[in-house]
Amino acid sequence: MSESYIISTIVENKPGVLFRASNMFRRRGFNIESITVGPIEQPGLSKMTIVVNGDEDTVEQLVKQLAKLIDVIKIVRLEPKCSVVRELALIKVNAPDQRARADLMNFVQIFRGKVVDVGDGTLTIEVTGDPDKIDAFIKIVSTFGIKDISRTGVTAIPRG
């Protein structure tokens, strides 16, 4: 049975690290569902959060292989129920008239989003939350016509 797994790694912040990690997944025929990388509080280090689908045994093998990479300092498999999981999405939606804009503004408020740009006949909306929340928002506003979407991918941290 295929499930989503979140792998959080601390890596050295230097050129080629992301390539070596993603290439390891490619060599094993594994698709990365999402990957985010950013610096952490310790100079010279970054956190890489990778979401993959697979079964328990395969993901365990991937974690072991990832640990062998020289630039990887630490690996943690995060349990979604015991972690804070967030993603950001920017969604440009058709808003041809005042009624459509008003309806969209109501959905933005319900989902605690934010309008970040108003164009001629469009609204660009920022929504942050777990991926299911973003998927639900996209589904609701898709009836207006989506012009563009940009999603960051998952970032996560253990609770507590």
Q: What is the pLDDT of residues 37-74, one digit of tens each?
A: 999 999 999 999 999 988 888 889 889 999 998 899 99
Which residues lie across from 129 on neighbouring strands?
A: 87
Ramachandran class of 109: left when φ > 0, alpha when ψ lies in -120 to 50, beta otherwise: alpha
Share of the chain above pLDDT 90, in %: 81
pLDDT exceeds cutoff 80 at 8: yes
What pLDDT is recorded for position 122?
97
Q: Which residues are within 8 A (CB) of 79 and not within 5 positions of it... i.e. 6 or more apart?
A: none
pLDDT exceeds cutoff 90 at 2: no
Domains of the chain and CATH, by start: 3-78 (3.30.70.260), 84-158 (3.30.70.1150)
pLDDT exceeds cutoff 90 at 3: no
* Under 8 Å between Cβ of 15 and 76: no
pLDDT exceeds cutoff 70 at 1: no
Residue 29 — pLDDT band, cuts 50, 70, 90? confident
Q: Which residue has the higher pLDDT, 22 or 145?
A: 145
Residues 126-148 have pLDDT tens digits of: 999 999 999 999 999 999 999 99
What pLDDT is recorded for position 44?
95
Angle CA 79–127–90, to nearest 5: 110
What global pTM score does this model have? 0.85
